[in-house]
Amino acid sequence: MSKYFRRKLFIYVLTFFLAVTIDWLIPRFMPGNPIQVLIARANLKAESAKVVYSYYMRAFGLDVPIWNQYANFWNALFHGDFGTSLWLFPQPVIKIILRAVPYDILLLLPAILLSWFAGNKFGAFAARSKWLDNTVSPLGYVLTATPYMWLGMLLAWTFGIVLRVLPFSGAYSYALMPTLSWIFIWSLLEHWILPFVSLFMVMFGGWAIGMRNMIIYELEADYSHYLETLGAPRRLIRRYAFRNALLPQITGLALQLGVIVAGALVTEIVFSYPGIGYLILQAIQNHDYFLLQGCFLFVIIGVLLANLAIDVTYVLVDPRTRTGMQGER
Amino acid sequence: MWSRTRLVLCMLLAVSVILGLTGGLVLGQAFPRNETLYTGGKQWGPVSNWNPFMAGNQAMGTIGLCYETLFLYDPLTDQFIPWLAESGKWLSSTVYELKVRQGVKWSDGQPLTAADVKFTFDLGKTAALNITSLWDWLDNIVQVGDYYLEFHFKQALYQEWANNLYNIAIVPQHIWASRNATTVSTGANENPIGSGPYLFFAVDQVKMVWVRNDNWWAKTALGKSVAPKYIVDLVNTSNENSLGLVLQGQEDLNNNYLPGISTLLLGGYALHTYFPGAPYHLAANTAWLDINLQKKPMGDVNFRKALAYAINVADIVSRDYGNMVQAANATGLLPTWDKYVDQAVINSLGTSYDPVKAKQTLTAAGYKDVNGDGFVEAPDGSKIALKIIVPNGWSDWMAAIQIISSNAQAVGINVQPNYPDFNGYLDARLNGTFDLAIDNQQQISNTPWSYYHFIFYDKLADIPSTQGGNYGRYNNPTAFALVSQLDKVPTSDLAGMKAVISQIQTIQLTDLPIIPLWYNGMWAQMSTAYWTGWPSSADGDAHYLPVTWNGYWNMTSILMLCNLTAK
């Protein structure tokens, strides 16, 4: 078992190194110069802009050769320094990310977990009954094919502007500052509903369809037919089918949880929800190398952790993995 | 069954922990609606700094609400309003006298004196700031007593100096003196201490909150006070979201471009714009067509003329903008600069939409369709295929270049619209690799000099680092000299200014280095749901600029706040 995990660990470290390198490289492939963008927004006098330009090039270490920048990047990273944002200058990247991440978790974690749970239950249920299969499955397809943007705007318009029952902008009332108080928590909940519902509905559709198809596939598998010929009750066969069908869904869930820090871009834009997705979009648009690097670093760590979790979970839930590992000895 | 019992126990535990944590909570404090002004349109990301020297991404109102300038400038009446200064005048051709207003206090109680003013200007010598270039022509500042200064110039650039007077924010010496050059030019300057009507109150991911400074000097000195106790500036994520907030009355003043205002004004929403009818908004800057003169065939003035005749600006104004903008004057000078327009020059040299003339001009200059593809070829027989660029996502501009492209195609010029991302667009202009592009980088100001300085920017080699303008690389030393000459004309000498400007206009309309198109508006959607007394064009109403963008508070927007009343 330890050999299995040692090998996995080695692969993780290697993946981390490569992924971070790519993460560093990709923003620098974008055409244009980030300092130019910074200057363009500042609307400076031409004569002063020249001074400011060379000043910023130095300040961000962009005036040294590219290999040197790469070395500086790793050096800084090992010292826990993520750099300074260009777009939100002079805020440190880590501060910007840490302020945004809680909102992503608040929004996405319940949406992912609940939609996974409900979607799987419903999918499995739908596979069992013709009537449900004819109603829920098409609904699932429609939901999962719905663009978030459109659904979000529809919800915001209906409940926010026409019916005026739910707020549609921000993570809590604009009249409040974050405090540990009932009114704030209530406001947080109220503002959470619409973005949550839009995410939940679309994700739910995806999980439900996946599960339904998987169950049908498993019920047609040899072991199901074998059980059937042995005269096992249908309930038992379905239970085994469900367990097997769940495995890919677990992988899917873990991967979704891994990218949780990347946020839900479109939802955040439609509902002005202050998560990381919107930051990533702006970082790209503003050539903010450092913020982009920082955001993706979190995503890389998240995905790797999620993969590790899958590896461990499979050992626990899938006896075949355990057997395989014993065979290794 | 043991697992279910455990689950129930866990849930009970969780509930009791949450109750325990929150049980002692009091009801949170909210900003009272009738004392709070909600604004939006400046901030497109979390607030990052309050540094008055970091133009561009400083928090909304850093200059204006918190830090103040020596004068305000009112573009609608072309008047300077003494603000932190009591008065200022030229003693001789190179000495400017400034009397600093007495009784002004910083928000920490210290008095604002001439020493602070001198200190602020001196900072430009040591730190890389927007005022650094001022020292190329400013020699020294002499302080006499606590409230009197003399600025001695090596060379007086009167137009530029007047511009500085209402744009440079004065900072307190007792706080900034201990900061090093880096902190001065790029520090976040948290908890800013200014002299203005508002104090820093709070900030979070989605907003910046200012609270009224009840000890503001203008209360006693000018009998003015700002109405809203709180100003909450919201971060924009999308125009759709902003539109929703305005329609709901949650946002009182929004400065985003929101299409379809004419329908919304009639839609029963408590909505107000500066003009009750078209163009609804004041003009903020000129949108013009940058033409890359380094490339063929744009280097040929006849080709540029033909292009100018081909473009149907009226169509852009009505179809693209729904009449929310006005077509630009042939010179591109903003309506507030009307007095500088030499109508005689326009009458003889100006171009306007005339497709027949466009075709004639092309033919006369030797452009004709040789290969029969419907588009003209250059006189030397080479194919013409041009791209016109605007940043992706700028929907009004994207629609505009579609119209321009089809206009050009209609007279036989092959122009295709293209939408790179903002950086690609910026890069193409800075490095001179574009063909045609829309540009609007010069905001309204006290002098047409700023506009001409941009379109006739003379340091061609420096363009990538200075972003000084003239992206088409028009090279004409006579024009450049005239712009410099204009800078040296005293602002009081209207006839002298007009004389120089008339010459510049003659060159501009003869050579057509750019094609002025329309005036972008000071987009301002005001909601009358909670506040009234908004600026408007109507007689008896306040004629102030209703804009929260950088550089606008000091162009009378601050006075708008003094005029508001809660409903």
The interface pTM score, or ipTM, of the predicted complex is 0.83
- What distance lies between CA B325 and its chain's CA centroid? 16
- What is the homologous superfamily of the domain A93-327 according to CATH? MetI-like (1.10.3720.10)
pLDDT band at A55 (very low <50, low <70, confident <90, very high): confident
| DSSP 8-state code for residue B316 | I
Tell me if B166 sits within 8 A of B70, measured CB to CB: yes
Of A33, A89, A287, the CB nearest to B186: A89
| 3 state SS of B213 | coil
To the nearest whole Å, the CA of A189 is away from the closest chain B CA by 15
Tens digit of each residue's pLDDT, chain B (567 residues): 345 555 555 554 555 445 444 444 444 468 999 999 999 999 988 999 999 998 778 999 999 999 999 999 999 999 999 999 999 999 999 999 999 999 999 999 999 999 999 999 999 998 888 888 899 999 999 999 999 999 999 999 999 999 999 999 999 999 999 999 889 988 999 999 999 999 999 999 889 999 999 999 999 999 999 999 999 999 988 888 888 888 888 999 999 998 888 888 888 888 999 999 989 999 999 999 999 999 989 999 999 999 999 999 999 999 999 999 999 999 999 999 999 999 999 999 999 999 999 999 999 999 999 988 999 999 999 999 999 999 988 889 999 999 999 999 999 999 999 999 888 899 999 999 999 999 999 999 999 999 999 999 999 999 988 899 999 999 999 999 999 999 999 999 999 999 999 999 999 999 999 999 999 999 999 999 999 999 999 998 999 999 999 999 999 999 999 999 998
Q: Please identify among residues 537-566 of chain B the ones whose CB lies closer than 8 Å to any CB of chain A.
A: 550-551
Mean residue pLDDT of chain B comes to 92
Does B205 contact A100 at a Cβ distance shorter than 8 Å? yes
CA-only gyration radius of chain B, Å: 27
Whether residue B183 lies within 8 A of chain A, CB to CB, comes out as no
Residues of B in contact with A37 (CB under 8 A): 422-423, 426
Contacts of A172 (CB under 8 A, 6+ apart): A178, A184, A187, A188, A191
Tell me if B244 sits within 8 A of A156, measured CB to CB: yes
Tell me if B319 sits within 8 A of B544, measured CB to CB: no
Q: Nearest residue of A to residue B160 by CA position?
A: A45
- For the stretch B76-113, pLDDT in tens is 999 999 999 999 999 999 999 999 999 999 999 999 99
Q: Nearest residue of A to residue B184 by CA position?
A: A90
Of B31, B248, B430, the CB nearest to A36: B430
To the nearest whole Å, the CA of A107 is away from the closest chain B CA by 15
Residues of A in contact with B27 (CB under 8 A): 181-183
What domains sit in chain B, N to C, each tagged with a CATH number?
Answer: 2-66+196-280+522-566 (3.40.190.10), 68-185 (3.90.76.10), 283-521 (3.10.105.10)
φ, ψ of residue B135 in degrees (nearest 5): -75, -5
Of B185, B237, B245, the CB nearest to A278: B237
Decide if pLDDT at A165 tops 60. Answer: yes
To the nearest whole Å, the CA of B129 is away from the closest chain A CA by 7
Q: Please identify among residues 439-458 of chain B the ones whose CB lies closer than 8 Å to any CB of chain A.
A: 441, 443, 453, 457
Q: Where in chain A is the domain with CATH 1.10.3720.10?
A: 93-327
To the nearest whole Å, the CA of B449 is away from the closest chain A CA by 13
Q: In the prediction, which pLDDT does B323 show? A: 94
- Bigger pLDDT: A244 vs B169: B169
Tell me if B233 sits within 8 A of B40, measured CB to CB: yes
Please state, in angstroms and rounded to a whole number, the distance separating the CA atoms of residues B455 and B512. 11
Whether residue B239 lies within 8 A of chain A, CB to CB, comes out as no
Whether residue B391 lies within 8 A of chain A, CB to CB, comes out as no
Whether residue A55 lies within 8 A of chain B, CB to CB, comes out as yes
pLDDT band at A33 (very low <50, low <70, confident <90, very high): confident
Whether residue A178 lies within 8 A of chain B, CB to CB, comes out as yes
Which tokens in the block code for residue B305?
Answer: 């003329």
DSSP E strands, B61-214 = 68-69, 71-74, 79-82, 85-90, 95-100, 138-144, 148-153, 169-170, 198-204, 207-212
To the nearest whole Å, the CA of A11 is away from the closest chain B CA by 37
Please state, in angstroms and rounded to a whole number, the distance separating the CA atoms of residues A264 and A262. 7
What pTM was computed for the model?
0.89
Q: In the prediction, which pLDDT does B21 show? A: 45
Decide if pLDDT at A242 tops 70. Answer: yes
Does A46 contact B421 at a Cβ distance shorter than 8 Å? no
CB atoms within 10 A of CB B287: 22
Q: In the prediction, which pLDDT does A254 show? A: 87
Q: In the prediction, which pLDDT does B16 show? A: 47
Among B135, B182, B185, B467, pick the best mutation site for testing chain A contact (most A Cβ within 10 A). B467
Please state, in angstroms and rounded to a whole number, the distance separating the CA atoms of residues B53 and B73. 19
Instruction: Work out the end-to-end distance of chain B between its first and last CA atoms, rounded to an integer number of angstroms.
Output: 62
- What distance lies between CA A46 and its chain's CA centroid? 42
- For the stretch A269-287, pLDDT in tens is 888 888 888 888 888 888 8
Whether residue B38 lies within 8 A of chain A, CB to CB, comes out as yes
Q: In the prediction, which pLDDT does B127 show? A: 86
Among B182, B206, B439, pick the best mutation site for testing chain A contact (most A Cβ within 10 A). B206
Cis peptide before B391 (omega within 30 of 0): no
Q: Nearest residue of B to residue A98 by CA position?
A: B205
Q: In the prediction, which pLDDT does A329 show? A: 43
Please state, in angstroms and rounded to a whole number, the distance separating the CA atoms of residues B241 and A191. 14
